[in-house]
Structure 1
């Protein structure tokens, strides 16, 4: 499974990448993660992205 990295790395105060929405821990784990772990990371990052976009709509 390819990395979701979009080469736009910038971590927020919670150490979440604003490019791919993975945590720093998830980014470091990616190359050693199983397919199941990678799917879980992708699901969590998508959830973070959706939450961030919903929060920004209010501004």
Structure 2
């Protein structure tokens, strides 16, 4: 086994460094809904998204716990054809 093989093997054996942080809920559908002011993808506010990197784990966990209760975009229809016919 040559030196390159040994170096490659030892690099594979070293565990990857990871952070012990709460992961971001981002799903890369970054659209802020004009009425709710929440991201349509992750349901965070623009302020929460901007501050995420500087938040403590406790702050992140609190937001993550609240996300399932949020409605990023209203589910109801805005009227469509029936609303136009009423005019």
| Structure 1 length-normalised TM | 0.76
Unaligned runs of 5+ in 1: none
Superposition RMSD on alpha carbons, in Å?
2.0
Counterpart for residue 62 of structure 2? 40
Q: d(CA) in 2 for partners of 1:26 and 1:45?
A: 11
1:2-37 Cα deviation digits (max 9, x unpaired): 111000011012320000000001101111111110
Unaligned runs of 5+ in 2: 1-21, 78-87
Q: d(CA) in 2 for partners of 1:26 and 1:46?
A: 15
Q: Per residue, is there more helix in 1 or in 2? A: 1
| Alignment coverage as a number of residue pairs | 55
Query: How far did residue 47 of structure 1 move?
Result: 1.1
Give the number of the structure whose alpha-carbon radius of gyration is greater: 2
Q: d(CA) in 2 for partners of 1:45 and 1:25?
A: 14
The ranges of structure 1 where at least 4 consecutive aligned residues each deviate by more than 4 angstroms after the TM superposition are none
